[in-house]
Chains A and B, each alone.
Chain A
């Protein structure tokens, strides 16, 4: 789904220059900052432990709640387990009333946002003050967080000064250091006089009844130290069993969240702590400590769905937002709901806030997988988003998508459509896309890039004419062409063949093959994806070959995923597994079969490399292609910045959201230009089409070549 309203939200966000600047800069510098913060810490081991301890807590959630309640109460706290959000809020209202609370200071609590805490209590006549600087600013603006960790990124210092001037009735200068001082002054008085403090928990420990809050500004500590009543609000997903288990979360949370090795403050409250009850007489006693645990149906429904249970392992670090190419452009007001934002925000929104909103924003995911790489809890975020997409496609089928995907999975229909297109296409005019009637993933009216011609003769007709002179072949490889090699880049397919011939392998092209099914999978159409898997398992006859090669990592990824479409133990599952195990991407297979000898014509050429999302993150191939290129005589290899950032193609994405895809492509092109390279090497024909189109539309004389093409050219094989 991509509604017109959402597209308008996108355009508005793209027009916000502050958001573009701050979020753009933050997202650009984030990966290096994060990496530095992890020096000396094994991130993979840490997130495995996080996943383990959080999974344990999720599996024993009732025990966690009971243990926490018992232990917190034993230390003087009061625990309220609320079975619905309404119940939670009603109990809080009653407490506020009973204790005659007039003023509340809050440090950040996302769970409280779910309860509409501020709105409800304000209507009751209570003064509720957000004290986190960013939350305070957006409260003044009357807005919702644009980012889970940095909620006011969309405003510049001038806008903040205006908001502060309105609020304090004193002129505030647009100087950040001064604005921070204003916040300190305004808030100090509130901390000192508030009747109640409200906190959110990063972690709750069952075994000791302890709650943890991490903060940088010190507002969390104020809220916990000054008011006589202290209320914690958190969901059942925050539990771990022991203090020792909690350590893993605070190893990743600050590093992932803000690129800090630790935040300024990590506070642990176990039951009721001491507080000054009368400052004039200096009397002290234990505070009144309450913990409201949200054990409501939304959270329980996450636990009931095996495919989404992992959401409980989220530590709310926000890393999935910080690396997301789409989020970097539009921020969380578009890519999120009123409470939760970004990749994980889709799932949290789906289960906890608003299913309708989730079903809209899920379409903003490029499926590039960068979020999975950095996720502090090791969540398979993109896979879960795809599941939501599938659910969505089933519940609200889109007729055009459905037609397109049905056509693709009908091999004969699809092929004849492509052939008709190749004949019918108007003479190629630069910058003018001319293919309008093809299935979605090939048709497109996109700004900022040219579109390639459909080959006059498809590969399947050319293939038999490719001469293969391989005496005593070492083995036989089947070529899985995929749509782009079959119908657009037929020369590339020929290069793949001659390259493999040069190291002693014969290549055949089984004609029963069809679209790999990746477009259907990406769009959430499982039925068509399975249908295509069946066609290809029959068509490729993996049993007859030593290997299957594909020069498109998206196809490779899809083929390797085939076993997941069939039930274990069935004949189809067995065949799918054989096919999956034999399938490799070109550069990986060529390298592994001994193709990495030093050779080449020696003619100087400067080459940079763009990593395709599927190749580097799903297939985890990053070194082989670089070795192949570096070992090619004449090639001077230079890395570009953000080499593994998505190019914006994302299958149908560039068609659905040209407003987002175009700036992503622009960034990629700027990074390419900065290297001064003559050639951008790629391993994905989709990326090739996208980047080549972008360079071409800008009139830049930089070539885009597939690794297989460079090898064939430089080794004189063509």
Chain B
């Protein structure tokens, strides 16, 4: 796994920001702190988490709880109806679009990334590909399409009333991606 270059990270960040998302980069050790910091600043009191080994290594749950944020790790479908935050890891990123790509069929991950008001997606830097076409090349070459693949680019939005672009409709109102440097 190659560490993400500064150039590629900046490209990802710039493009995500251009669609009202935010982006931070961190080491694995500081992952928990980074996630907790975002929610703390946004005043998010509670969050659902679909934990992965990367999050475990990065101490995400601990850091959130230390920051006074209530964490839910099960009954996600039920809890997501009332809990404000959502955290999950995604499989790929596309720098050219600021896009995060979910490429596996884990319903809880889809729920937290869709139902939360503030969603944080975690990406390993090494999984960020430069271009949209690179991502399609990867998908096309997979031995089998996962049951679910989803591109997520920034928070939800609409322009359906008077063509005025408004952020946050049925999906998240805010969205951040935390890019974790691989070692």
Chains A and B bind each other: yes
Write the residues of chain B forming the contact surface with A, with a CB cutoff of 8 angstroms.
Answer: 15, 19, 74-78, 81, 97, 99, 105-108, 110-111, 114-115, 132-133, 136-137, 139-140, 145-164, 166, 168-172
Nearest-neighbour CB distance to chain B for A77, whole angstroms, equals 10
Interface string of A330-341 (1 = CB under 8 A from B): 000000000000
Q: How far is the CA of A18 from the CA of B71 in the complex (A)?
A: 46
Check if B161 sits within 8 Å of A152, measured CB to CB.
Answer: yes
In the complex, which residues of chain B have a beta carbon less than 8 angstroms from the beta carbon of A246?
136
Choose from A133, A244, A273 the contact partner of B137 (Cβ within 8 Å): A244
Q: Which 4 A-B pairs have the closest CB atoms?
A: A218-B171, A134-B160, A218-B156, A276-B77
For A271, the chain B residues whose CB sits under 8 A away are 147
| Cβ–Cβ contact B150 & A266, under 8 A | yes
User: Do the beta carbons of A137 and B133 come within 8 Å of each other?
Assistant: no
Is B156's CB under 8 angstroms from A264's CB?
Answer: yes
Q: Select B171's contact among A21, A157, A160, A221, beta carbons within 8 Å.
A: A221
The minimal Cβ–Cβ distance linking B28 to chain A, given in whole angstroms, is 28
* Contact indicator A151/B160 (Cβ below 8 Å): yes
Q: Cβ of B153 and Cβ of A264 under 8 Å apart? A: yes
Chain B positions within 8 Å of A470 at CB level: none
Cβ-defined contact, B170 with A217, below 8 A: yes
Task: State the A residues within 8 Å of B (CB).
Answer: 18, 21-22, 25-26, 75, 131-134, 137, 150-153, 155-157, 160, 176-177, 179-180, 183-184, 187-188, 191-192, 208, 210, 216-219, 221-222, 224-226, 242-244, 246-247, 251, 258, 260-276, 279-280, 282, 284
Q: Can you name 12 A-B residue pairings with CB atoms under 8 Å?
A: A133-B158, A133-B161, A134-B160, A157-B161, A221-B150, A243-B139, A244-B137, A247-B136, A264-B19, A265-B153, A268-B150, A274-B105
Residue of A265, A276, A284 touching B151 (CB-CB under 8 A): A265
Contact in complex: B163, A150 (CB < 8 Å): yes
Contact call B152/A264, Cβ cutoff below 8 A: yes
Do residues A263 and B153 form an inter-chain contact, with CB atoms below 8 A? Answer: yes
Tell me, in angstroms, the Cα distance from A269 to B103 when the chains sit together.
Answer: 11
Given contacts A226-B77, A264-B156, 16 further A-B contacts (CB under 8 A): A134-B160, A151-B160, A184-B168, A191-B170, A217-B171, A218-B156, A243-B136, A246-B136, A262-B151, A265-B152, A269-B148, A272-B147, A273-B105, A273-B107, A273-B147, A280-B75
| Residues from chain A with Cβ under 8 Å of B137 in the complex | 244
CB distance from A368 to the nearest CB of B (A): 23
Contact for B155 among A75, A157, A210, A264, CB less than 8 A: A264
- Flag if A282 contacts B164 (CB, 8 Å): no
Q: In the complex, which residue of chain A has the Cβ closest to the Cβ of B15?
A: A261
* Given A150-B159, A264-B19, A270-B148, A225 contacting B169 (CB threshold 8 A): no
How many Å lie between the Cα of A246 and that of B133 in the bound state?
Answer: 11
- Among A132, A222, A270, point to the contact of B145 (Cβ < 8 A): A270
User: In whole angstroms, how far apart are the Cα atoms of A10 and B77 in the complex?
Assistant: 49
Closest Cβ–Cβ distance, residue A297 to chain B (whole Å): 32
Q: In the assembled complex, which residues on chain B have CB atoms less than 8 Å from the CB atom of A274?
A: 105-107, 147-148
Residue contact B133 to A216, C-beta cutoff 8 Å: no
The complex places the Cα of A346 from the Cα of B45 at a distance, in Å, of 53
Bound-state CA distance A153–B107 (Å) is 35
Q: Give the contacting residue for B163; candidates A26, A137, A151, A280; CB below 8 A.
A: A26
Name the residue of chain B whose CB is nearest to the CB of A133. Answer: B160
Contact, CB under 8 Å: B97 / A261: yes
Which residues of the other chain, A, contact B147 by a CB distance below 8 angstroms?
Answer: 75, 269-274
B157 touches A282 (CB 8 A): no
Chain B residues near A75: list those with CB within 8 A: 147
| Cα(A22)–Cα(B133), bound, Å | 35
Max chain B C-beta neighbours (<10 A), residue from A21, A131, A137, A150: A150
Could you tell me the distance between the alpha carbons of A221 and B116 in the complex, rounded to whole angstroms? 13
Would A187 and B170 count as touching, CB distance under 8 A?
yes
Asked if A210 contacts B162 (CB within 8 A), the reply is no
CB-CB < 8 A to B140: which residues of A?
Answer: 242-244
Q: Are A221 and B114 closer than 8 Å at their CB atoms?
A: yes
Q: How far in angstroms is the closest Cβ of chain B from A577?
A: 41
Contacting A279 at CB < 8 Å: which of B78, B139, B156, B161? B78
Q: Is the CB of B111 within 8 A of A225?
A: yes
Tell me if A268 and B153 are in contact (CB < 8 A): no
What residues of chain B lie closer than 8 Å to A216, measured between beta carbons?
A: 156-159, 169
B174 to chain A: closest CB distance in Å? 13
CB < 8 Å neighbour of B81 from A192, A244, A260 = A192
C-alpha gap A217/B166 in the complex (Å): 10
Contacts of B108 in A (CB 8 A): 276
B90 to chain A, nearest CB (A): 13
Residue in A closest to B175 when the chains form the complex, CB atoms: A264
Given contacts A134-B160, A152-B161, is CB(A177)–CB(B169) below 8 Å? no
Q: How far is the CA of A151 from the CA of B57 in the complex (A)?
A: 47
Chain A positions within 8 Å of B159 at CB level: 150, 216, 258
Task: Kindly name the residue among A216, A251, A264, A270 whose own CB sees the greatest number of chain B CB atoms within 10 A.
Answer: A264
CA distance A153 to B170 in the complex (A): 20
CB pair B161 A264 closer than 8 Å? no
Q: A137-B160, A160-B161, A247-B136 are in contact. Are A225 and B110 (CB under 8 A)?
A: yes
Measured CB to CB, the closest approach of chain A to B32, in angstroms, equals 25
Among A218, A224, A279, A280, which residue has its beta carbon within 8 angstroms of that of B172? A218
Tell me the nearest residue of chain B to A260, going by C-beta. Answer: B19
Q: Which residues of B contact A251 (CB under 8 A)?
A: 132
Complex alpha-carbon distance, A214 and B78, angstroms = 26
Within 8 Å CB of B76, what residues of A?
Answer: 276, 282
* B173 CB → nearest A CB, Å: 8
Q: Which among B108, B110, B154 has the greatest number of chain A C-beta atoms within 10 A?
A: B110
Contacts of A132 in B (CB 8 A): 160
| Contact in complex: A156, B171 (CB < 8 Å) | no
A264 to B145, CA, bound (A): 21
B97 closest partner in A (C-beta):
A262
Closest CB of chain B to A107's CB: distance in Å?
9
Across the interface, do A262 and B170 meet the contact criterion of CB distance under 8 Å? no
> Which residue of B has the minimal Cβ distance to A192?
B81
Report whether A264 and B171 are in contact in the complex, using a CB–CB cutoff of 8 Å.
Answer: yes
Q: Which residues of B lie under 8 Å from residue A282 when comparing CB positions?
A: 74-78
B170 contacts which of A188, A258, A263 (Cβ < 8 Å)? Answer: A188
- Contact at A273–B136, with CB atoms within 8 Å? no
**In the assembly, what is the distance between CA of A261 and CA of B95, in Å?**
12
Q: Nearest-CB distance from B105 to chain A (Å)?
A: 5
Contact across chains for A22 and B163 when beta carbons are under 8 A apart:
yes
CA separation between A265 and B114, bound complex, in Å? 10
Determine the chain A residues whose CB is within 8 A of the CB of B151 once the complex forms. Answer: 262, 265-267
Chain A contacts for B106, CB-based, 8 A: 274
Find chain B residues with CB under 8 A from A153 CB: 162-163
> A269 vs B140: C-alpha distance in the bound complex, in angstroms?
14
Bound-state Cα–Cα, A265 to B97, Å: 12
Nearest A residue to B79, CB-CB: A279
